[in-house]
Structures are given as structure tokens and as C-alpha cells.
């Protein structure tokens, strides 16, 4: 799926939780939100994009969250 759109969607999720005071909790909340609302191919395609093109454009909190998602 369109990686530009996936990156934007992920960053917006990250943008909401980044305002939370507990950073660890916020990273977990981003990961949880993606896991609970994204269809697996969306996560798969975003990861594939990161493997092939790096994580440019993804916010720090989203990168940290994606690392927590089960493979």
C-alpha cells in the first residue's frame, strides 16, 4: 500500500500520543493503536518500506512503537 500515506497515518497516531507525559507508555499506546486498528498488510507494507528505503519520514515515537509490534 502507498507508503507515503502509511507514514502519514502512522505519524498522526504518533502525534497524538507524543503529547502524553509518560514516554514509555506513549510508545506502547502507539504500538497498541496500530496493532488494534491496522490490517496486517498495512503494517507489513510499512515495515517493508522501512527495510527497503529506511525510516525517513517516520517520527521517533512511531519508529520506537513499530519496533515493539510483534513480527
Partner 1 sequence: MNALQEPDLGTPAPQACADGVSPPLTLRIDGIEVVVPSGTSVMRAAALAGVAIPRLCATDCLQAVGACRLCLVEIEGRKGYPASCTTPVEAGMAVRTRSPRLAELRRNVMELTLSDHPLDCLTCAANGDCELQDMAAAVGLREVRFGLSGANHLAEPRDDSNPYFGYDPAKCIVCYRCVRACEEQQGSFAITAAGRGFAARIVAGASSFLESECVSCGACVKVCPTATLIERTAVAAGSVERVVETTCAYCGVGCGFRAELDGPPDAPTIVRMTPSKRGAANLGHACVKGRFAWGYATHKDRVTKPMIRDRIADPWREVSWDEALRHAAGEFRRIQRQHGRDAVGAIVSSRCTNEEDYLVQKLVRAAFGNNNVDTCARVCHSPTGYGLGQTLGTSAGTQTFASIAHADVIMVIGANPGAAHPVFASRLKRRVRAGARLIVIDPRAIDLVDAPHVRADAHLQLRPGTNVAVLTALAHVIVTEGLMDEAFVAARCERQSFVDWHNFVARSENSPEALAEASGVPAAQVRAAARLYATGGNAAIYYGLGVTEHAQGSTAVIAIANLAMATGNLGREGVGVNPLRGQNNVQGSCDMGGFPHELPGYRHVSDAATRACFERAWGVELPPTPGLRIPNMFDAALDGSFRGLYCQGEDPAQSDPDIGHVKAALAAMECVVVQDLFLNETARFAHVFLPGSSFLEKDGTFTNAERRISRVRRVMPPLAGMADWQVTMALSEALGYPMNYGHPSEIMDEIARLTPTFAGVGYDKLERLGSLQWPCNDAAPEGTPTMHVGGFPSRPDGKGRFMITQYVPSDEQATRKYPLLLTTGRVLAQYNVGAQTRRTANLRFHAEDRLEIHPHDAGERGIADGDWVGLESRAGATELRAEVTARVQPGVVYTTFHFPESGANIVTTDSSDWATDCPEYKVTAVQVSRRTRPSAPAERVP
Cα torsion for 62, 50, 2, 24, to the nearest 10°?
-10
CB of 64 vs partner 1, minimal distance in Å: 17
20 touches partner 1 (CB under 8 A): yes
Strands (E), the chain: none
- Alpha carbon distance 50, 29 (integer Å): 21
37 touches partner 1 (CB under 8 A): yes
CB of 19 vs partner 1, minimal distance in Å: 4
What sign does the CA torsion over 26, 9, 67, 36 have?
Answer: positive
- Give the residue, chosen from 23, 27, 40, 48, that forms a contact with partner 1 under the rule CB under 8 A: 40
Binding site for partner 1 (CB under 8 A): 1-2, 5, 9, 12-13, 15-16, 18-21, 33, 35-42, 45
Amino acid at each position: 500500500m502507498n507508503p507515503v500515506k502509511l507514514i502519514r497515518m502512522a505519524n498522526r497516531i504518533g502525534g497524538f500520543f507524543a503529547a502524553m507525559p509518560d514516554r514509555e507508555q506513549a510508545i506502547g499506546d502507539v504500538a497498541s493503536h496500530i496493532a488494534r486498528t491496522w490490517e496486517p498488510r498495512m503494517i507489513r507494507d510499512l515495515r517493508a518500506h522501512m527495510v527497503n528505503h529506511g525510516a525517513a519520514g517516520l517520527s521517533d515515537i512511531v519508529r520506537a512503537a513499530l519496533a515493539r509490534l510483534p513480527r
